[in-house]
Amino acid sequence: MNTSPAMLWLTIFGVGLGTFALRASCIMLLGKFEQPPWMEAALRYVPPAVLAAIISSSLFIEGEVVRVDVSDPRLAAAACAAVVAWLTRSLFFTIAAGMVVLWLLQALWGTA
């Protein structure tokens, strides 16, 4: 199927506008009402849950194969980050510690 550049840009703009409208409507609606305490408590767990889902899928899944390799420096860095997260409860320190450990292990083991 051959589409014109104008149709492609119109599609990109339309999808972007639709995405913006959906997100903005939720933000504007939720901003007008006070949230119940249980919802605020639940929403505090969204960023760590999303981060864990992204990291764990890239850590254990390679292509279509689930792989756990104890010699992988990413696994050691993730374990260190999990301990830092448990001790500090800080997303910043968790990411920083995980990245520093990953870089150090990659430099020591000579992997990229």
Q: What is the pLDDT of residues 74-89, one digit of tens each?
A: 899 999 999 999 999 8
State whether 59 and 19 are in the same domain.
no
Considering the domain architecture, whether residues 46 and 94 belong to the same structural domain is answered as yes
pLDDT tens for each residue of 22-32:
989 888 887 77
DSSP one-letter code for 62: E
Distance separating alpha carbons of residues 19 and 39, to the nearest angstrom: 24
Same domain membership, residue 78 and residue 48: yes
Dist. CA 69–CA 26, nearest whole Å: 42
Considering the domain architecture, whether residues 57 and 97 belong to the same structural domain is answered as: yes
Same domain (yes/no): 69, 42: yes
Both 13 and 66 in one domain: the answer is: no
Task: Give the number of domains in the chain.
Answer: 2
Question: If you average pLDDT over residues 65-73, what whole number do you get?
Answer: 83
This model's pTM is above 0.95: no
Residues 41 and 26 in one domain: no
Q: Of all residues in the chain, what percent carry a pLDDT higher than 70?
A: 97
Verify that 28 and 73 share a domain, yes or no.
no
Question: Does residue 6 share a domain with residue 42?
Answer: no
85 and 99 housed in the same domain: yes
Question: Do 41 and 93 have their domain in common?
Answer: yes
* 67 and 103 both lie in a single domain: yes
The boundaries of the domain holding residue 11 are: 1-33
Nearest CA to 78 out of 47, 63, 57 is that of 57
The answer to whether residue 111 scores a pLDDT higher than 80 is: no
